[in-house]
A = this chain, B = another copy of it.
């Protein structure tokens, strides 16, 4: 059976640092981008806990508005739109295209699994030039529960025709890896700069610095069987 690999998208495949000039323009500080991403995650997690589902992009917009209020820096409609539009036009990290190609040539089956809507996820992967590497693009929106809730991982594994234990989840976020592990997936933590694991969480199946290194480790593991 071919190995199934699910890839998270934002910060795992795509580099959100491309947003920084827009945060610099809107808030006078490029670093606000990371604060925004955390605030957005808090809103998304809160909605998941309260079972009050909304598409991820609505949390993205709400978090921008909260930051503008917190920083007492009014956000123009143009700046807001520019940031949200740019989210669909992010570059892939340089290791992504060659790493995915290597995995595909080795006959792994690959899909994307994102908290963004299917429309946004598809637009993102197309713009980054890596859409064709994936058999499918799955969005948590389809099950109206965001990662790290169990449903998105279970849905993606089911749609790929495997048990969760026969799928890998690759992500640069500890919470994503933890959610996938909780439903039995094997997990690869992509240790992108500044990304660290919860020291209390379960260790991922493997840790690597880029997609090429993940490909190497998965190929080794496949060869050893």
- Mask, A25-52, CB within 8 Å of B = 1, is 0000000000100110111011011101
Number of copies: 2
Residues of A within 8 A of B (CB): 35, 38-39, 41-43, 45-46, 48-50, 52, 54, 58-59, 62, 65-66, 69-70, 148-149, 175, 178-179, 182, 194-200
Please tell me which one of the listed residues B52, B195, B199 contacts residue A65 in the complex, with CB atoms under 8 A apart. Answer: B199
Question: Which residue among A49, A58, A62, A175 has the maximum number of chain B CB atoms within 10 Å of its CB?
Answer: A49
Smallest Cβ-Cβ distance to A195: which chain B residue: B70
Q: Which residues of B contact A196 (CB under 8 A)?
A: 66, 69-70
Chain A to chain B: the 10 pairs with minimum beta-carbon distance, closest first: A45-B45, A69-B196, A46-B175, A62-B200, A66-B196, A50-B182, A65-B199, A38-B38, A62-B199, A70-B194
Known: A49-B148, A59-B200. 14 other contacts (CB 8 A): A38-B39, A38-B42, A41-B42, A42-B45, A43-B200, A45-B46, A48-B49, A49-B49, A49-B149, A50-B182, A66-B196, A69-B196, A70-B195, A70-B196
Q: Which residues of B contact A50 (CB under 8 A)?
A: 148, 178-179, 182
Q: Which residues of B contact A148 (CB under 8 A)?
A: 46, 49-50
Contacts A65-B199, A196-B70, A198-B62 given; indicate if A49 touches B39 (C-beta within 8 A).
Answer: no
What is the CA–CA distance of A49 and B199 in the complex, to the nearest angstrom? 18
Q: Which residues of B contact A54 (CB under 8 A)?
A: 200
Question: Which residue among A59, A195, A198 has the maximum number of chain B CB atoms within 10 Å of its CB?
Answer: A198
